[in-house]
Amino acid sequence: MKFLRHLAAVVLVVAVIVGLGVLWAHTSGGAGPRPAPSPEALLRLEQIKEQIKTGVIRVRSDNGFHLADTGNLIRTCEIEAVLAVAVITVSVVRRRRHRTRRTTARA
Amino acid sequence: MNAGPATPAADSPVTASRRRILARTRLDFWLDALLLVAYTLAYSLGFTGIATHEWLGIGLGVVLLVHLTLHWDWVIRTTRKLLRRGGRERFVWLVNLLLLLSMTLCIASGILISEVALPELGITPAAGSFWRQMHDTTATLTLILVPIHAALDWRWVVGVARRFAAWRPGRSR
């Protein structure tokens, strides 16, 4: 029962955030559908479709992990690791400094 | 012969309460680990491809609701005592608030610009460039905030991981 009450509160908060986002989109005029493409863009699209049909452009099916692009995953992990290490270092240094100050004050 | 763990009926109130706390800690730990791995994969669009990226993002949204619900007590408690608390507690609260905002907008905008997941369900979203820009910006912000959010609780993570490492089957901890 408590879980459901909390879940309802969370859903409400999330709904408010999304609602504010939609409001922001409306006020900035970006909430509407995408503008119709220009005749040049449509022509280029037809050319690309033709190139796909004739095999000039090869399309890779996009329904799984691209193990060849592990570099992308590694880069994400590296960014996360660097930030986490920075936060942990600051935390350790602060804690040590705090402890030293307390020991000095006691002495 | 090992007698094994005592039955719940034989547990003292203290042991039962301790068991509940440990079960909750275990749930928090594994759910947080799952969220971190899912987020890392979802952010790596070049690795997952668009379809996996979108389905992971939607799943992440659902698990995030559960994560927030499990920590709702902390949210209320810290928000109430915000003025009385020290600098660190306030900083953690601010990081968490920013993460909530950016993650929610990131997932919502991702759903609105969906190219595979929603069309597969028969829904064609017609979001403009505003939501695309919003998705890019909030995703970058989230990439900065997620590791900070996780690292701020590194002592808890290390403590729980140590307890798991020392755990042996059949031994109540």
User: Which residue in this structure is represented by tokens 């094994």?
Assistant: B4
Q: What is the pLDDT of residue B96?
A: 94
pLDDT tens by residue, B47-66: 888 889 999 999 999 999 99
- Which residues have C-beta within 8 Å of that of residue B149, sequence separation ≥ 6? B95, B96, B99
User: What residues of chain A lie within 8 A of the CB of B70, using their CB?
Assistant: 6
Separation of alpha carbons B47 and B122, rounded Å? 26
Q: Is the dihedral of CA A34, A39, A44, A47 positive or negative?
A: positive
Separation of alpha carbons A89 and B114, rounded Å? 39
User: What residues of chain B lie within 8 A of the CB of A67, using their CB?
Assistant: 47
How many CB atoms within 10 Å of residue B139? 20
Q: What is the mean pLDDT of residues A3-20?
A: 94
Task: Say if CB B143 and CB A79 are below 8 A apart.
Answer: yes
- State the complex-level ipTM: 0.80
3-state helix, strand, coil in chain A (%, to 5): 75, 0, 25
Query: SS in 3 state form for chain B?
Result: CCCCCCCHHHCCHHHHHHHHHHHHHHHHHHHHHHHHHHHHHHHCHHHHCHHHHHHHHHHHHHHHHHHHHHCHHHHHHHHHCCCCCCHHHHHHHHHHHHHHHHHHHHHHHHHHCCCCHHHHCCCCCCCCHHHHHHHHHHHHHHHHHHHHHHHCCHHHHHHHHHHHHHCCCCCCC
User: What residues of chain A lie within 8 A of the CB of B41, using their CB?
Assistant: 73
Tell me which of A28, A62, A89 to substitute to probe the interface with B (most B C-beta atoms closer than 10 Å). A62
pLDDT tens by residue, A70-84: 888 999 999 999 999
Tell me the residue type at A37. P
Q: With 80 as the cut, is the pLDDT of residue B69 above it?
A: yes
Check if B16 contacts A (Cβ < 8 Å). no
* Mean model confidence pLDDT for chain B: 84
Q: Which of A13, A72, A81 sits opposite B44 (nearest CB)?
A: A72
Residue positions counted in chain A = 107
Q: What is the pLDDT of residue A80?
A: 95
Separation of alpha carbons B112 and B54, rounded Å? 11
Tell me the residue type at A105. A
Which structure tokens are listed for A33? 């559908």
pLDDT tens by residue, B5-19: 444 455 676 677 777
Q: Which of A34, A67, A85 sits opposite B128 (nearest CB)?
A: A34
- Which residues have C-beta within 8 Å of that of residue B108, sequence separation ≥ 6? A17, A18, A21
Q: Which of A32, A77, A91 sits opposite B128 (nearest CB)?
A: A32
pLDDT tens by residue, B76-120: 988 888 777 677 888 899 999 999 999 999 999 999 998 888 888
User: What residues of chain B lie within 8 A of the CB of A13, using their CB?
Assistant: 68, 100
Q: How confident is the model at residue B121 (pLDDT cuts 50, 70, 90)?
A: confident
Does the beta-carbon distance from A91 to B152 stay under 8 Å?
A: yes
Task: Say if CB B48 and CB B101 are below 8 A apart.
Answer: no
CA distance B67 to chain A (A): 10
Task: Say if CB B129 and CB A30 are below 8 A apart.
Answer: yes
pLDDT tens by residue, A14-73: 999 999 999 998 888 765 555 566 777 777 777 777 776 776 665 555 556 666 678 889
Q: What is the pLDDT of residue A105?
A: 83
CA distance B1 to chain A (A): 41
